[in-house]
Amino acid sequence: MSEPKAIATIADFAAELALEAGELVRRERDENTLRTDYKQQTELVTHADVIADEMITGAIRERFPDHRILSEETMPDLSQAEELDTPLWIIDPIDGTVNYAYGHPQVAVSIAYAEQGKVQVGIVHAPFSGETFRAVRGSGATLNGNPIEHSAATVPRDSLFATGFPYTKDSLEPLLRRLDAMIHQCRDLRRIGSAALDICWVACGRLDIYYENVSPWDFAAARLIALEAGATAGHFSEVPDGYPADLWGRDILISAPAVWEPVRKILRRASGYE
């Protein structure tokens, strides 16, 4: 692993990139005509997604030419997460693209840096609210420079949870079973539309629980932020042998520590895992 000073320098660099990308996507939406397309005929992508991705990945390649990059728009090869020998950057230039296209403010730039499958740096910047969440492994988590911590929720019944749904709608039945179980055993649901912000909101106590199936670029940075804020992060199904848990997004569960195991049991039963 890199020395703490080197990791801190990488964190500063990542934060600068996130702020620059955030200004780019904010300006694109406020000043230019929105240009959209679709990936796999279902998933919305905007011109701003692509140019922000190119800006971030270009800057990383220039500064760290030997590092690998896993990014949603320009380098979405998930096998990158299985190669652990070389440092890996995990990028989502706009998490919450549908929100972005509709003018909703819940949008984030997410940048994570991992070594040997362990995320060491996480930056999530929300350009429309002006909030930057930041964490370095072992150093705590902050929001705009101020320390944050989870809500300390104690029981699911008094807990506010968030989740999301895939663009493709042909496998919704198990997700709806989970939702039915959770909505009956928790306080209420919030559908924010950005996994990175959902998780960061668990980190700072605006939410108590988050669960979903997501890709590494959606959660890698925010997961570290939640962990460093004292939340518990894991999965309610098994992680494949040899795959880094920090980058495995199936059946992810992040919550205040006291409710994690009770919620895990709720989700496992609803999923038919036990």
Residue ranges for the known binding site for Mg(2+) are 72, 92, 94-95, 218
Residue located via tokens 């804020």: 229
Radius of gyration of the chain (CA): 18
61: which residues sit within 8 A by CB, 6+ positions away? 67, 69
Helix-, strand-, coil-residue percentages of the chain, each rounded to 5: 40, 25, 35
| Residue positions forming the annotated binding site | 72, 92, 94-95, 218
Q: Which residues of 180-215 are buried (b: 16+ CB within 10 A; e: fewer)?
A: ebbeebbeeeeebbbbbbbbbbbbbbbbbbbbbbbb
Give the CB-side neighbour count of residue 209, counting CA atoms within 13 A: 33
Read out DSSP for 195-224?
A: HHHHHHHHHTTS-SEEEE---HHHHHHHHH
Torsion angle defined by CA atoms of residues 141, 242, 219 and 16, in that order, rounded to the nearest 10 degrees: 60
Q: Which helix (H) or strand (E) holds 48?
A: helix 47-63
Q: Can you tell me the distance from the alpha carbon of 92 to that of 18, in angstroms, rounded to the nearest whole number?
A: 10
